Structures are given as structure tokens and as C-alpha cells.
Amino acid sequence: MTGLFPPPMGLIVELTHRCPLQCPYCSNPLELERPASELDTSAWMRVFDQAAELGVLQLHFTGGEPTARRDLPDLVRHASARGLYTNIITSGVLLDEPLMAALMAAGIDHIQLSLQDIEPENADRIGGYRGAHAKKLAAAQRIRDAGLPLTLNFVVHRQNIQNVARMIDIAEKLGAERSEIAHVQYYGWGLKNRAALLPSRAELDATTATVEAARARLKGRMVIDYVVPDYYASRPKSCMGGWAQRFINISPSGKAMPCHAAETLPGFTFPSVRDTPLAAIWQSDPAFLRFRGTDWMPEPCASCERREIDWGGCRCQAFALTGDAGRTDPACALAPDHAVMAEAVAERGIAPPPFIYRRINAGSERAPVEAVV
Ligand code: SF4
Ligand code: SF4
């Protein structure tokens, strides 16, 4: 690839892997990074300066739970002063009045709040945190009262999929401008819990019909984003808008990656923002160049008319399901490995197995939780 590649649209900032919740579909890696390894305030601010210089438009604060960092308002203020659009993706359980006021004073532009379900008991069970659902509803009200647009995220799976219509109803009642009904994506913790989470085809079809009807009813009032599971798809998603095409993801310790799941791939050494400027990472780091564009593609992608639409799907899913990140995503019906998707569906069983909750050291040691169901 020659010349300068256009800048990324967004920087995804995993401030910390600490989180009071323990969702069994968490997108964080199985090996969570320890608090002692986190970048400090000044290091993050330097990264935001570099992002603004590079031409990044949006900064997404995520985690773990980004509000677990006490310096979050300072970081928002710094990013905002550099002209970056600031968004926080949060579970909301720590979003109390003082923090909400501090974030508003710092210039936060948008907050996305996640809910585990609509039934409090089931929601708390899924998140592994007693009382979380009530705290989330209070946080939603706080976001609305502050005058910020509200986006509600629901992660959908076989243990809450029956409630999708009610999820949309509550988003409407809470005055959300946008809601996201996103089926679990099966990487990391989601893959580990796949049999406990993967819905049936009939459940998926019923949900899709519910979402379509709600979209028609709420047109002009609330936007509903809908993300379906790859396991029933015939073509893959354009994962992250293509490898190293639109986003840089930075882990709590400063590891820069094209997506949050990329560190599952063997044979990669991802650069650190501690010692490499963001522009150099984006333009020339070998890990970022490895699957950018179409040159790396095997058949059937190489000659497919969709190769610059879905970019061959997800590299991390290709590795997780075939052992080779360079193969066509098995979610594609044209992929030589597509049969593995049907095999996974067949393995899901009649009753879901117990959750393996997201904890440091894959369950042998508790994450820093405040209350556990
Ligand atoms: S455990 Fe749940 S709330 Fe916490 S970061 Fe993971 S998905 Fe988000
Ligand atoms: S063959 Fe490759 S490029 Fe074509 S639809 Fe499938 S994954 Fe996408």
C-alpha cells in the first residue's frame, strides 16, 4: 500500500478492564489486564492529542467500565478541548449524580447505556451484580435529565430474547433517541459461553420480525440498530468497517489493535502507544497492514464483488473457528468452512449450560465486584 492511508474515524479507548459486572458475553479478552498496567492520565491525554492531530473524529470511552476510572471527567475535558466528539459506553451502575454533573461540565457529547434485560432479576443474574438493573434505570433518567441524547444497548441471547419487544418499549418510555438490539458476538467470553447464549433460528426470526415492526411504528421517533448473530447469516458483517480501515482500539495498558478481539490472533505483536506515535501505528505498523484492504484475500473473497463491502468478514472469527485468521470468515455461505456454523448451532443443546462469568483468570479469581448475585 503506498501513500498515506485516510485517518481512522474513531479511537476506541478501553480505559480499564475493571468492571463491577461479569457479563458472560463480555467483549474483553479472556486474559483481562490488571489495574497496575493501566495507562495513567497524562499518557491517555498524550494519545488524545495524537489522535486529534491524526484526524480522528470520535473518541469512544469504554472498558471494562470506563466510569471506574476516577479521572474520566478530566479525560473527557481534555479530548473535548481537542475537538474530539466524546462518547461513553457504560453499564451505568457507577453513574451517580456527582459523576454525571462532572461529565456534563467536562463537555461529554453522548452516553450509551447497556441493559442486560428488562426483567430485573434476570438482568442482575446475567450481569452477575445484584441491584444493577435498578441502578441502570436511575442512570438512564440522569442522562435524560442532563439533556444528553440517550442510546440504550441491549445484548440479546437465548436467555433474554423472549423480551425484545419489551426492551424496545422501555427504550421508548425512557425517551431514548436510539436503541441497539445486538445479538451476542461470539468471540472471547461470548465464544466460551456460546452454548448458553446462542438462540435458535426460530427465536432469531421472531426477534427480527419484532424489530422490523417496531422500526416501522417508531419511524422518526427512535432509531433501532439491529445486529444479528453470524451463525445464521449467509454473508458476514463488515467487521469494524474492515481491518484497520476505520478504528484503532487501545487496551488499558496501551496496546493498539485494529479491533478489541485482535489479541486472540497468534503471531502478532501489537504496538504500544507508550512508545509509538498513533500516526506511525496507523500508517505503517505491520499488524495494522496485515489484513488492510484486499491484497491478503484468498478465494472466494479475492474475486468476489462484495470484497470491498464486507472485507472478507471478521479475522478473529475466522481464526476462532478455523484456526487460520487468513481464511474467509465462515459466516459467509461461500466460505469453504461455512459448515462449522451449522455444527455450532447443533451443539447448543436443548437447555443452556450455566454461565461462565467474566472474571480475571477465567473464573479462578473474582474481578473487583461490589455485589454478586
Ligand atoms: S462485564 Fe458486562 S458491563 Fe462489564 S465491560 Fe463486560 S459487557 Fe460491559
Ligand atoms: S466470499 Fe468473501 S468477500 Fe465475498 S461475500 Fe463471502 S466473505 Fe464477503
Residues flanking ligand 2, CB < 6 Å? 235-236, 300-301, 304, 306-307, 310, 312-313, 328-329, 332, 334
Task: Please state the atom number of ligand 1 nearest to the C-alpha of residue 20.
Answer: 4
Average pLDDT of the chain is 94
Among protein residues, the one with the nearest Cα to ligand 2's atom 2 is 301
Section 297-321 average pLDDT: 96
What's the pLDDT score for residue 2? 53
How would you classify the pairing of strands 150-156 and 178-183?
parallel
CB 234 within 8 A of CB 201: no
Distance (angstroms) between ligand 2 centre and the Cα of 370 equals: 45
Section 317-332 average pLDDT: 95
Residue 7 has pLDDT above 70, yes or no: yes
Section 106-130 average pLDDT: 97
Section 264-270 average pLDDT: 92
**Set of cell numbers at residue 321:** 473457528
CB 240 within 8 A of CB 6: no
Section 48-75 average pLDDT: 97
Distance CA 261, CA 18 (A): 17
Section 56-65 average pLDDT: 97
Q: How confident is the model at residue 133 (pLDDT cuts 50, 70, 90)?
A: very high
What's the pLDDT score for residue 365? 31
Among protein residues, the one with the nearest Cα to ligand 2's atom 1 is 301
How would you classify the pairing of strands 150-156 and 58-62?
unpaired
Among protein residues, the one with the nearest Cα to ligand 1's atom 2 is 23
Section 247-269 average pLDDT: 95
Residue with cell 469494524: 240
Distance (angstroms) between ligand 2 centre and the Cα of 318 equals: 12
Residue 62: count other Cβ atoms within 10 Å of its Cβ. 20
Measured from the alpha carbon of residue 29, the closest ligand is 1
Pocket test for ligand 2, best of 303, 310, 317 (most atoms within 8 A of CB): 310
Measured from the alpha carbon of residue 310, the closest ligand is 2
What's the pLDDT score for residue 349? 87
Distance (angstroms) between ligand 1 centre and the Cα of 224 equals: 21
**Set of cell numbers at residue 16:** 480499564
What's the pLDDT score for residue 369? 38
Distance CA 245, CA 289 (A): 10
Distance CA 334, CA 303 (A): 12
Section 344-365 average pLDDT: 79
- Helix or strand or coil: residue 244? coil
What's the pLDDT score for residue 149? 92
Task: Please state the atom number of ligand 2 nearest to the C-alpha of residue 312.
Answer: 7
Section 91-98 average pLDDT: 97
Q: What whole-number percentage of the chain has pLDDT above 90?
A: 91
Residues flanking ligand 1, CB < 6 Å? 19, 21-23, 26, 28, 63-65, 91, 358
What's the pLDDT score for residue 1? 47
Give the list of residues 6+ apart from residue 331 with CB closer than 8 angstroms, or none: 230, 231, 233, 235, 236, 237, 313, 314, 317, 338, 341
Task: Please state the atom number of ligand 1 nearest to the C-alpha of residue 155.
Answer: 7
Task: Please state the atom number of ligand 2 nearest to the C-alpha of residue 331.
Answer: 7
Pocket test for ligand 1, best of 15, 136, 358, 360 (most atoms within 8 A of CB): 358
pLDDT tens-place string over residues 194-204: 999 999 999 99
